Amino acid sequence: MASKIFFLLFLLFLAYPHQHACVNGDATLIKRTCKNTKFYNLCFSSLKSDPSSPNADPKGLAVIMIGIGMSNATSTSSYLSSKLLSPSNNTTLKRVIKECADKYTYAGDALQASVQDLVNEAYDYAYMHITAAKDYPNACHNAFKRYPALSYPLDLALREDGLKHICDVAMGIIDNLDW
């Protein structure tokens, strides 16, 4: 039991790598910004720990959060790609893992596009790209569901939830920008 708890904490540490160090940022702006998101604690700890947050305006805070999402998506894609290297004769599992790695790569690409949209003040397009990034993990999860003999790995479920929550926070910040 203790090893499962340790493992879950370790995975959460990997899913939210930016929340562990704190910098002295503009806590008032960060609190006000995060108050309007679904996941206040994730928002506040992530933004507070980023060294560029003290000089960021609300749009900059959205960009920081999107960057955290890009790191999560890239990390998950790399993690899944590394699983492809492990010796296994289960070609179905390898095919599904490859599909999932691709979906997380697409999520990262969509988040990258949303940053450019924010720069261009195309907030509706930024929101659309973040929504797409949030949905790509569902496609991965559904790929596992197509094969009842395959179980959806707990560590992947945690990473999926992490990316979805990060995207929710970024969308919450964008909701409050002046469109």
CATH numbers and ranges of domains, the chain: 67-175 (1.20.140.40)
Per-residue model confidence as pLDDT tens digits over 70-112? 999 999 999 999 998 888 888 999 999 999 999 999 999 999 9
∠ CA 146-157-78 to the nearest 5 degrees?
95
Residue 179: the pLDDT is 57
Length of the chain: 179
Q: What is the pLDDT of residue 61?
A: 96
Whether 41 has a pLDDT exceeding 50, the answer reads yes
The answer on pLDDT for 17 being more than 90 is: no
- Please tell me the predicted confidence (pLDDT) of residue 16: 43
- By percentage, how much of the chain surpasses pLDDT 90? 76
C-alpha distance from residue 139 to each of 101, 102, 117, 133 (Å) = 11, 10, 24, 11
Mean pLDDT of 23-38: 82
**Single-letter amino acid, residue 73:** A
The whole-angstrom separation of Cα 114 and Cα 73 is 14
Q: Is residue 139 predicted with pLDDT exceeding 60?
A: yes
Q: How far apart are CA 47 and CA 62, in angstroms?
A: 9
Residue 26 has pLDDT above 80, yes or no: no
- Interatomic CA distance for residues 57 and 176, integer angstroms: 12
Tell me what the pLDDT averaged over the chain comes to: 87
